[in-house]
Copies of this chain bind each other. A is one copy, B any other.
Amino acid sequence: MGQRPGDVSAPARLAGPGEGIGADELALAARNHGLPLEALRHDLTPPGLHYVLTHYDIPYVPRAGSWRLSVDGQVRTPLDLSLADLLSFPQVTTRVTVECAGNGRALLTPRPISQPWLVEAVGTAEWTGVPLRLLLAEAGADPAAADVVFTGADHGVERGVEQDYQRALPPAVAAGDDPEVLVATAMNGAPLLPQHGRPLRLIVPGWYGMAHVKWLRSVTVSDVPFKGFQQSVAYRIRRTAGEEGEPVTRIAPRALLVPPGFPDFMSRTRVLRPGPVELFGRAWSGQAAVSRVDVSTDGGGSWEPAVLDPAVAGQRWAWRAWHHTWSATPGEHAVGARASDIDGHVQPVDQRWNRGGFANNAVRFVRVVCVAGAFSP
Residues of A within 8 A of B (CB): 1-3, 5, 7-10, 19-22, 24-34, 36, 38-39, 41-42, 46-50, 52, 54-58, 60, 106, 113-114, 116-118, 120, 155-162, 193-196, 259, 262-269, 271, 330-332, 369, 371-377
* Known contacts A48-B48, A160-B377, A373-B2; A38 and B60 CB within 8 A of each other: yes
Partner of A36, one of B7, B22, B31, B377: B31
Partner of A369, one of B7, B22, B28, B48: B7
Known: A5-B376, A156-B263. 15 other contacts (CB 8 A): A2-B330, A10-B267, A26-B29, A26-B118, A29-B29, A31-B34, A32-B33, A36-B54, A38-B58, A39-B58, A39-B195, A46-B195, A48-B48, A161-B376, A162-B376
Q: Among the interface residues A24, A55, A374, which one has the most CB atoms of the partner chain B within 10 A?
A: A24
Q: How far is the CA of A38 from the CA of B33 in the complex (A)?
A: 15
**Could you list some 11 contacts between A and B, CB below 8 A?**
A2-B371, A3-B375, A7-B369, A30-B118, A30-B120, A32-B33, A33-B33, A39-B194, A155-B262, A156-B264, A156-B265
Q: How far is the CA of A194 from the CA of B32 in the complex (A)?
A: 19
Q: How far is the CA of A244 from the CA of B196 in the complex (A)?
A: 45
B262 touches A156 (CB 8 A): yes
B58 touches A331 (CB 8 A): no
B271 touches A8 (CB 8 A): yes
A271 touches B162 (CB 8 A): yes
Partner of A158, one of B41, B193, B266: B266
Q: How far is the CA of A259 from the CA of B27 in the complex (A)?
A: 13
Q: Which 5 A-B pairs have the closest CB atoms?
A: A20-B20, A48-B48, A33-B33, A21-B21, A47-B47
Q: Which residues of the partner chain B approach A48 to less than 8 Å between Cβ atoms?
A: 47-50, 52, 193, 195-196
B118 touches A27 (CB 8 A): yes
- Identity of the chain B residue whose Cβ is nearest the Cβ of A62 in the assembled complex: B41
A46 touches B193 (CB 8 A): yes
Q: Which residues of the partner chain B approach A20 to less than 8 Å between Cβ atoms?
A: 19-22
Q: Which residues of the partner chain B approach A54 to less than 8 Å between Cβ atoms?
A: 36
Q: Which residues of the partner chain B approach A113 to less than 8 Å between Cβ atoms?
A: 266
B3 touches A266 (CB 8 A): no
B372 touches A2 (CB 8 A): yes
